[in-house]
Structures are given as structure tokens and as C-alpha cells.
Amino acid sequence: MQIAFIGLGNMGLPMALNLVKAGHAVRGLDLAEAPRQVLAEAGGRRVSSVAEAVDGADLVITMLPASKHVQSLYGTGVFDHAPRTALLVDCSTIAPTVAREVAADAAARGFAMIDAPVSGGTNGARAGTLTFMVGGAAADVERARPVLAAMGRNILHAGPSGAGQTVKVCNNMLLGVLMLGTCEALRLGVANGVDPAVLSEVMGKSSGSNWALQVYNPCPGVMPDVPSSRGYTGGFAVDLMLKDLGLAVENAEASGEPVPMGEQARRLYERLSASGHGGLDFSSAFEKLGPG
């Protein structure tokens, strides 16, 4: 498969590297030079424009920060230069409404497009064990499946266009709430003299067990190879979590479904971002949230 991969950030680069490993011909584009270089050294092709990336591609994959980046990249580049036969796959986390709009624009120009946001974090991206939540026509999901399978373990069809993003928004609202609750519980135990590793092990085998605690522990030193053990770098940025909680609250308002826990999580991540920590991993709430 000829694959254009646009957005080689914390998630996109390890995902693209897994596609190279699986034997696909991958052209990688990012605003930054460093990840393009890493991809080229691993056997991918470094390109410097959207036109060059998507020319003759069977599949175009995007892994960009937010809605506005996706709207702009497809609207001003991909639609103009990709062959109509290419399947367009947006893996970024964006508003479900925007995902539906971009897919409708794609369809109007003769393209098939699916939304395929992911869960599993940067370790999941590196290990090729991501979960893909896919929205779109069943036939297009099946067409993408063999390629997605090189980057993920679970490829789940959530429903029609935008449904992948709806599921992702629900999942990440829950993740934000669970991370903040996990930070609070760990800090409370530590303040009362319990070793955080012991506390984590016991809660991990009890009813408080969850992904933030067991796979992505926010307390430095409890777990190797997670952002909390490398100064909260290289994971899922506070500002990206804030964006996702914003999407959840927006969605809740539009659908008349109250999400008071999601709103509280958004307020707390807003505070963390406003105090200058927007670029740190979202588990930094453990150390940086402070009283407020």
C-alpha cells in the first residue's frame, strides 16, 4: 500500500513507524523536520508538501492536534491533490460535527472518508496495540482494517460518519475524570504515609482499579516508561486533554445531556493549563494542579 501519513507527533510518528515495519510504503509529513527524518531513517519517505505526500496514495492518514488543523489540511491540500480512489482516514481527535462535515465535503468530491480516532496512549502507539473507534461506511472500515491492524489491536466500527469521534469524546471525558480521581486518591494516601507503589498495587487489585492507575500511573517512580517517570514529557498533553473535555462539554450542551463531572474535569485542566503546564502530560495533575 502507498500510504500518506500527515502529522508525525507523539502519536503519529510511532504509528507511521509501525506501518513501515508492516511493509507499507509510507510518505511522512509534519511541520517539524525531526520526525520526518526519523521516519526516513526507518525506511519511510520524507516529503515536504501535502501534494507530494498524497500523490498516488492508496490511503491518506492524518494524526493532527484538533478540528481546525483537520479542516484546513483536507480543505486546502488533500482534496486537491489526492487521487479520488484514495481512502481518507482521520485519526485525530476532533469534534464529531466537524468530522461529519469534512467527510461530507470528501464525499461531495468523490472520496471515501472515515473517522478513526484512537485510544492507548503513546506506549500503545509504539507497541501497535491501539484501539481504533471508527465511524463511516462498513465497506470503508473493512478496506482500512488491514492497515489499521498494523497499528492497533482493536478496530471497532462505532457507527456512521462521526460516530468514532462521539465514542472517543465519551472515552476521553471518562479518562480525564479517572485521571484526576486517581491523582487525588494517590496524593491522599501519600499524605497519610502510605507508599504510592503499595497504594497503587492494592487499589489496582480493588474496585478503584482503572487505566490511569494501572497503565499510566501519574505518581513519579511507581511505573517505568510512563510520562510521570520522565518529567511528564512525551505523552498526552494537558492542552489536548483540555481540548477533548471542551468537545465533551460542547457535545453535552448540544445534546441536552448534563456532564457535571466532565465540566469539573475541564475546569481543573483549564487551571493546570493556565498555570503554564499545557505542554506537560495530562498525568502532571498529580504534581502541578495545586490548591485552587
By C-beta, is 199 or 265 nearer to ligand NAD? 265
How far is it, in rounded angstroms, from Cα 250 to Cα 28? 33
- State the minimum distance, in angstroms, from the CB of residue 185 to ligand NAD: 22
By C-beta, is 10 or 182 nearer to ligand NAD? 10
Residue closest to 118 by CA, chosen among 107, 106, 127: 127
Give me the residue whose beta carbon is nearest to ligand NAD.
9
Q: Which residues contact 38 (CB under 8 A, 6 or more apart)?
A: 8, 13, 17
Where in the chain does DSSP place strands (E)?
A: 2-6, 25-29, 45-46, 59-62, 87-90, 112-115, 118-119, 130-135, 152-159
By C-beta, is 2 or 71 nearer to ligand NAD? 71
Q: What are phi and psi of 54, to 5 degrees?
A: -95, -10
- State the minimum distance, in angstroms, from the CB of residue 91 to ligand NAD: 7
- State the minimum distance, in angstroms, from the CB of residue 88 to ligand NAD: 15
- State the minimum distance, in angstroms, from the CB of residue 103 to ligand NAD: 16
Catalytic residue from among 21, 68, 168, 205: 168
How far is it, in rounded angstroms, from Cα 100 to Cα 113? 10
Q: Tell me whether residue 168 is one of the annotated catalytic residues.
A: yes
Q: For residue 250, how far is the Cα from the chain centroid?
A: 19
How far is it, in rounded angstroms, from Cα 134 to Cα 155? 7
- State the minimum distance, in angstroms, from the CB of residue 147 to ligand NAD: 17
Distances (CA, A) of 174 to 10, 148, 161, 170: 22, 24, 22, 6
Give the residues lining the site for ligand NAD (CB under 6 A).
6-12, 29-32, 63-65, 69, 73, 92-93, 118-119, 121-122, 235-236, 240
Q: Cell numbers at residue 243, please? A: 481540548
By C-beta, is 2 or 171 nearer to ligand NAD? 171
Give the residue numbers marked as catalytic.
Answer: 168
